[in-house]
A and B are shown apart, each in its own frame.
Chain A
């Protein structure tokens, strides 16, 4: 219960941050990705601000085995740099550049009641399901 409440709090704060920063506006995101047009560097400041805080938090967290509430620390252990990572990220980047939406801002726009965001998020979930199906058929054919 406590775990879910803190999740809700973190999600809310994340959502507010996306709204305040301008990241929830796809046109602003595309203005940042458009280096050859009139470039809006604002989003570099979003990343900068987030990472500045993140650096402090992760430096502190890395030394711990339990969270402040006593839960296990679940930090990623995979350090492999492989084809999956690069091709997946490139695919994501193409989709990001087409509409100006990454997952978080898509969800914020959905909450704001934008019909177009419903279409984007629905397609994104469909894409994730396609991934799960491919992974599962691969796993079963490997057995």
Chain B
């Protein structure tokens, strides 16, 4: 049976933030005609033959700049990173290789792909969700137990 962590459950802010993410993806789509896939936008900067650098840098600067702007107005919500440095390096490498190999991440496949009813993105999303659930189970309940 699944036990719900009611004290941590924040459906209101989660939904509000989700709508903002959706609006960001929608405006990028409707104004620029592109999918707001973060791994693809970042990965495209690493291909020397691609010459569309400026808009990619601008999009990424927006994401990185968001917490900076936020901090001008007030305190940022907590960002708790409990993974150690070796784990962060391995996680980073796997996320980098995996998102490029699978052509997308939580934004490109999860948000945009599911929104445009792509079967390909559904398969990708189910795959990375399943792997995420399994990894946390192994780390927290098999190794960490």
Contacts and interface: CB of A to CB of B under 8 A. Distances in A.
Interface residues of A, number: 116
Interface in A60-92: 60-62, 66-69, 71-76, 78-81, 84-92
Contacts of A74: 33-35
A50 B100 contact: no
Contacts of A28: 8, 80
Contacts of B85: 116, 119
B139 A13 contact: no
Interface residues of B, number: 115
Nearest to B82: A27
B143 to A, nearest CB: 11
Contacts of A106: 92, 95
Interface of B: 2-5, 8-11, 13-36, 38-39, 42-43, 46-47, 54-71, 76-83, 85, 87-107, 109-120, 123-125, 127-137, 139-141
Interface of A: 3-28, 30-31, 33-58, 60-62, 66-69, 71-76, 78-81, 84-104, 106-112, 114, 116-117, 119-132
